A = this chain, B = another copy of it.
Amino acid sequence: MLRISKLTDYAIMVMVELSQSRGEVISAQALAERCGLELPTVSKLLKLLTRSELVQSFRGVNGGYRVNRPSADISVAEVIAAIEGPIAMTECSVDTGLCQQEDNCNLRSNWQRISLAVAEAMQQVTLAEMARPAPAVTDSLKIATFNA
C-alpha cells in the first residue's frame, strides 16, 4: 500500500497540534491527551522530532516541547523524514551499495528520480494546510490511486 508507518501518522497529528500553539511550551502528557494517543508513544515521537530539530525541548518542571517555525513553513515531508528517515522508494535511492539487486539491475537512477518526485509532492504540503480539512477528493481523481 506504500503507506507511512502509524508512528509517522501520529507524528503529524502531534506536530499539527503543537504547531497550532506556536511558541507555547506544551508537555508530552498534555499533547498525548489532546491527540488521544498514549503518553509513551507521544514521548517517543517527540524525542525523534527533537533530534531532527523540528521541535525544541525543555527539561525539568514546566518543561515540554515547542515549535518555533510557523506551521506554514513546516512541510509534511520534513516530519516524515524525521520519523522514517530519507524519503526513498528503494534502498538504492539513498546511496550506492545498499540495494541487493544492484549488480543485476540498472533501475537505480530512475528510482532516485521517482523518490525525488514523491518527496517534492510532500514538501509542498505544510502543517498549516494539514490543520484544516482539504476540499474533498472527487471520485474521478481517486481513480489515480488505483483504488478498487
Contact = CB atoms under 8 A, between A and B. Distances in A.
Interface of A: 1-4, 9-10, 12-13, 16, 35-36, 76-78, 80-81, 84-91, 93-95, 101, 103-110, 112-125, 129-130, 133-137, 141-142, 144-148
10 contacts: A2-B87, A4-B90, A10-B101, A35-B104, A36-B103, A81-B146, A86-B145, A114-B121, A116-B137, A117-B124
A9 B110 CA distance: 12
Contact of A90 (B3, B36, B81): B3
Contacts of A36: 101, 103-105
Nearest to A141: B116
